[in-house]
Chain A
Amino acid sequence: MNGEPLVRWDWLFAHLGPIGDRVGQHLYLATIAVGIGFGISFVLAALSIRRRRLFPLITIVATGLYAIPSFAMFAALVAVTGITTLTAEIPLVLYTLVLFIPNIVAGFDAVPADVLEAADGLGYTAGERWWRVELPLAVPLVVAGLRLATVSTIGLVTVSAILGDSFGGLGYYILDGYQRHFTTEILVGGLLSIGLAALADFGCVLLQRFLTPWAAARAAVR
């Protein structure tokens, strides 16, 4: 273009502090969205398991929400909730539902019927059965949902940069770089966001190994 190098390392080293702050904000926005999304999804999944007829309905609504372009949803919410963290979080939370709910439901569905029968017959109360048998056995698929939701949310956080300088995490650099035709900023924002997603995914895998040592034993046999 104008003889600029692809990456201006001097800019990068001069902005390490602010970049670190943006990484922190990025993780903050993503963590809140995944946490709240997980909570809401868990309740809706539990409802779907109890009342099976609600499951298709809930899935359709969650899928419908996911179909709304993120730009449009952020913009439309500004009219309702203003330029606030809430405006940034609502779309991020809603987009996690379709990733979490089917996985949580599948996780509980995957608990073998003979295991549940044995638990009842041996004298587990309903609560003990849920905590000590159903929940642990649902973990692999629940964590599969968590991985999807985490990676997806970390990517989407960048879009919230359109709400202004105090949002977007690393997305701020992508938008700023685009507006100023400054490639270094775009690369820093984009690559670091991808790196965060990869790290978070790896973290989920470690979490799963920690929570389900038995699944590794099963995989080794097959």
Chain B
Amino acid sequence: MAGRFLLIGLALGFLALFLAMPLVVVFSEALSLGLSHYAASIMDPNVGAAIWLTLLIAAISVPANLVFGVIASWCIARFEFAGRNLLITLIDLPFSISPVVAGLLEVLLFGLNGLFGSWLSANNIQIIFAVPGMILATMFVTFPFVAREVIPLAQEQGNDEEEAAATLGASGLQIFWRVSLPKIRWGLLYGVLLCNARAMGEFGAVSVVSGKIFGQTDTMSLAVESLYGSYEIQAAFAVASLLALLAIVTLVLKAALEWRHRDELNAVRRKRTA
């Protein structure tokens, strides 16, 4: 019994020291100069522009990955064909690639000396050091998020209902909207939640391809860096506190989803550790 309490104490102590404390520091530093300073830091127009750009990037990359996740899960989970596992491995690939390398890839494709560089500059299209490059880099790092939640779920659920619907004469789209989507929706939402957190918080990949102009090509994460770098510590933590709030909301929603739809979401975890 004593051993059990010792273990619980050690684990909770470690979590408090290691995970909770950084979170507390963010808010205490953000509010260190008082509420009015905090409000002023957040109301700064450059910070507003950063928030707007962050939302824009998420608003494009998350739906794109949602659509891809749904399409990929239809072909990978509903059909059996050679090379299925290879496809899953390739979809997971961005997870084992450094975000910095992700940014580098976009530079090699669309930078001035990149593969499409001369064509782009001849046509006056700028991707690198501009918003399109930041969206592409974000899409790369968040690529697996939705697909890897939905594919194992759909695989475990099987095709029985879909096949029954097909036998009764439902069209492909009818089967998808009426049968499959309701089956996978919680897994889908779960993936979107995680994808969104990463898309809004991504730093490394976006930092490589951003022009780093505060107020123009800075996301919230990049604004945190540039404020911190110019010793505006409190302002940096004020922006950071907004991102920390986003993280807390994400965790609460995630825990609620896991609590209410434990069985569906556990399917994903079972598959992954099997």
B is a partner of A:
no
* Residue ranges of A at the interface with B (Cβ–Cβ < 8 Å): none
* Residue ranges of B at the interface with A (Cβ–Cβ < 8 Å): none
